[in-house]
Chain A
C-alpha cells in the first residue's frame, strides 16, 4: 500500500483543459444547449405529463392549431409534445448505453493490445480489423432482426459495430504512454500490470478517449434514428427515432411529426459534437494557436 503511494501521480491535464474549454464559445454554447435538452428530458414531466401513446386529437393536426396541442399531433393523433418529452429519455439512453458499450469494449481491447503488445496485440488487432471490415449498418440490421428490435438490442448492435475506432485510439495512446518515464518508474517499483493499466496509463490516455466517447454518443443517436427510419427501431418504446420512423410516410404534407423529432436529434447531436470538439481543442493545446 505504502509503496504504491509513491508512484508519481501523472499531472492531470483535466483541470487545465476545463479552463480552455470555457474559453471556447461554441463549446460552451453546446454545453448549455445539452444541459437544456437533458433538463427537459429528465424533468419535462413537470411541465407536461401525459401518456405519449394516448390519442388526443385528430391525426396530423398542425402545431398551434388547437389550444394545448402546441406541437401538433402525429399520424395517430398522439400529442407530439408528450412524445418529444417522453421520447428523449430512451433516445439519450440508447446513445449513452451504446457509447458505454463502445468505450468499455474499445478501451479493454485497446488497452490490452497496446500494453502487452506481441501476440496479444496481434490477436486483438485482427479482431478489431474484422469488425472494421464489417459494414456497420448492415450488421446492425442483421443483429436487430435476430434479436427483434428493442432499445437494448439497438444499443447493443450500435456498440458492437462502433468499438473498433475507440480500440485503435486507446491502443495508440497506450503504445505511446507505456514507454514514458513515469510508467517505467511505476513498473520498477513493482506495480502490477492491472494497476499500471488502470491507474497509471489510463488516466493519462483519457483525454482523447473522453472526446471520442462524447462523439460516440452523437453517432449512436444518429445510428438509432437511421435504424428507426428503416423500420428497425424498438416499436414499443417512444423515442425520437421511432417518431421519425413511424411518421416518415407523411412528411410530404405534414412536416412536423418528422421534423420536430429530427430537430431534437439534430440539436442533441449538434450540442454533443460541439462539446466534443471543444474538449478536443481543449485537450490538444497545439490547436489553440499557431
Chain B
C-alpha cells in the first residue's frame, strides 16, 4: 500500500520537474569561448556519410553541413540549401544551394559535391531506405541540384537533414578509394561550422571555428571539445566539478536526479524527438508459446510499465505505447496501452492452454538484454523476471558479456524474449518500417528479428512510404499502429530519458528535433565561464 503511494508521489514530483523549461530568452549573442562536451560515445571515425549513429553524428554534424536542417517542430529549414521545391508529381525535388559556401580547404561547395555525397550515402549508408528511390541527382549548374525519384518519397526532406546526409567534398573522397574506410574519415575536410584540429580515438575530439563558414558571423564559439568518458558516474562528477560544459544524450536516472540539483547547471529534455529512442520488450513470434498472440498479450498485461518508469527510471522517462515515438505527429494515441492487469494476464494464459503446474509454473522463457545500458535494459529484464513469476512464467535472464554476444543471439533468432533499444531516426520509413515489414525478416540486428509477418501491415507501410499527402499518410500509420498494438510483436515500454545538461550561462543550446546531432553554430556563452 505504502509502496504505491510513494510511486505516485514520485511520478507527480517528476512531472513537475519536467514542466520547468530552461530559460531560453537570449540577449545579443556573444562571440567567442570554448565549449567542452562530454560523452560516453566513442566514434569510429568522423564521416557520417558512411557511419550512422550518435557517436559520429555529434562531431560529424559540426564538421559537415547538410542541405537542410530541422527546427523543433519537424519543419525543414534552409542550410546549405537556400530553397527547394517539389515537382507536382512528387517525382523530383529541385534544390538551390547557397552561393558562398566553401569546404574547409577553401574549395567551393557545388551541386556536383551534392550529387557525389548523395550517391555515396546511397551506396554506403546503412539506412538504405533513405535514398533508395533516388535514381539520380542532376546538376544543371553549380548551385542547382535536381533529385529524380522512381516513386514519390515523402521522407526525402528529412533524409537530407542533420547527420543523415552530410555534404562531403568530391575532390577528397572521389579519389577512387573506398569511402567506407577512406583515410580522410579520420581527418575530414568538412563543410560545416567547425573544423577538426585533433582526433584522439576514444579520448578527445578538438574542433575549431571555421572562419569562412557560409553563414555570416557563425559559429559563435571559437572552439569545441568533445571529451569521451566511458563511465556514467564519472560523467556526472565531471559536470558537477565544471570540468565539462555540456552533457548530451544522458539517460541515467540517478545522475539526472543528481545533476538537476546542481546550481549553475540547467537541462532540457528536448532535442531527442528526431532520434526517437525507444526501449521495448521484443517477442520471438516464431517460437512457442510466443507464437500465440494471447501469450504475448498476457505478458504485456503482466508487466507494469508505470513501475519501470517511476521506480526503475525514477520518473525520468516517458511512456511509449506504440512503434512510433509519441512526440511524432504520426503517433496514434488511441491504441491499447496494456496497463498492468495481472488477472487478465492469468486469464489469457489459461485460455491459451498454459495451466499452472503443481509448482505454480506454466512454462519457462529466457530473456536477453543489451549489455552496457543497465538501467534501460538489464534492470528492466531483471524486473520482468521477478514480475512474470507472478503469472506463473519462469524467466531466465541470459546475460551477454558484451554487445556482439547479444547481437549474435538476436540476429540469428536464438532468443525467446529480448529487451531492445531501437531508434526511429526521424521518419518512420527510416527507422520504423524495418522492424515490421515481413520482407525485412533478416539475420541482422534491428531488422524484423521478431519474425513478425502481417500482410496488411506490409501493405500499409508500403503505401505510407509513398503517400505525399500528410493527412492520408498519418491515417495509414494510425491503422498500422492499431494492428501492432493488437498483435504485440513488441511490448513498448518507454522513450529513453535523454537529457542535455549544460552550464546555465550557455545560450541557444540545441533543442531542434535532432538536438546535438545538428550544427551548433548558434550556441554561445551569455557570460564568460
> Which positions in A face B, CB cutoff 8 Å?
53-55, 57-60, 75-77, 144-145, 148-149, 231-232, 234-236, 246, 248-254
Closest chain-B Cβ to A184's Cβ sits at a distance in Å of 53
Evaluate contact between B254 and A253: CB separation under 8 angstroms: yes
Name the contact of A252 in the complex, choosing from B6, B255, B374 (C-beta under 8 A): B255
Provided the pairs A53-B386, A58-B6, A77-B311 are in contact, do residues A145 and B233 lie with their beta carbons within 8 angstroms? Answer: no
Evaluate contact between A251 and B383: CB separation under 8 angstroms: no
Evaluate contact between A252 and B3: CB separation under 8 angstroms: no
* Distance A77 CA – B258 CA, assembled complex (angstroms): 19
Residue of chain B at shortest CB distance from A144: B401
Evaluate contact between B312 and A246: CB separation under 8 angstroms: no
Decide if B21 is an interface residue (CB 8 Å cutoff). Answer: no
From A77, A236, A250, name the one whose CB has the most chain B CB atoms within 10 angstroms: A250
Near A by CB (< 8 A), chain B positions 354-378 give: 371-372, 374-375, 378
Name the contact of B386 in the complex, choosing from A54, A231, A236, A249 (C-beta under 8 A): A54
In the bound complex, residues from chain B placing their C-beta under 8 Å from that of A75 are 312, 375, 379
* Distance A236 CA – B375 CA, assembled complex (angstroms): 17
Provided the pairs A53-B386, A58-B3 are in contact, do residues A251 and B233 lie with their beta carbons within 8 angstroms? Answer: yes
| Chain A facing B: main interface SS | loop
**Chain B residues with a Cβ closer than 8 Å to the other chain, count:** 32
Decide if B382 is an interface residue (CB 8 Å cutoff). Answer: yes
Evaluate contact between B401 and A149: CB separation under 8 angstroms: yes
In the bound complex, residues from chain A placing their C-beta under 8 Å from that of B379 are 75-76
Closest chain-B Cβ to A231's Cβ sits at a distance in Å of 6
Name the contact of B374 in the complex, choosing from A54, A249, A251, A254 (C-beta under 8 A): A249
Closest chain-A Cβ to B84's Cβ sits at a distance in Å of 45
Decide if B350 is an interface residue (CB 8 Å cutoff). Answer: no
Residue-wise, chain B 391-410 has the 8 Å CB interface mask toward A (1 for contact) of: 00000110111100100000
In the bound complex, residues from chain B placing their C-beta under 8 Å from that of A252 are 233, 236-237, 254-255, 258
In the bound complex, residues from chain B placing their C-beta under 8 Å from that of A250 are 254
* Distance A252 CA – B233 CA, assembled complex (angstroms): 7
From A76, A232, A246, A248, name the one whose CB has the most chain B CB atoms within 10 angstroms: A76
Evaluate contact between A236 and B396: CB separation under 8 angstroms: yes
In the bound complex, residues from chain A placing their C-beta under 8 Å from that of B378 are 235, 246
Closest chain-B Cβ to A125's Cβ sits at a distance in Å of 33
Residue of chain B at shortest CB distance from A150: B399
* Distance A128 CA – B314 CA, assembled complex (angstroms): 51
8 A-B residue pairings within 8 Å (CB atoms): A58-B3, A76-B312, A76-B382, A148-B399, A235-B399, A249-B252, A252-B233, A253-B254
In the bound complex, residues from chain B placing their C-beta under 8 Å from that of A254 are 254
Evaluate contact between A232 and B401: CB separation under 8 angstroms: yes
From B311, B312, B385, name the one whose CB has the most chain A CB atoms within 10 angstroms: B311
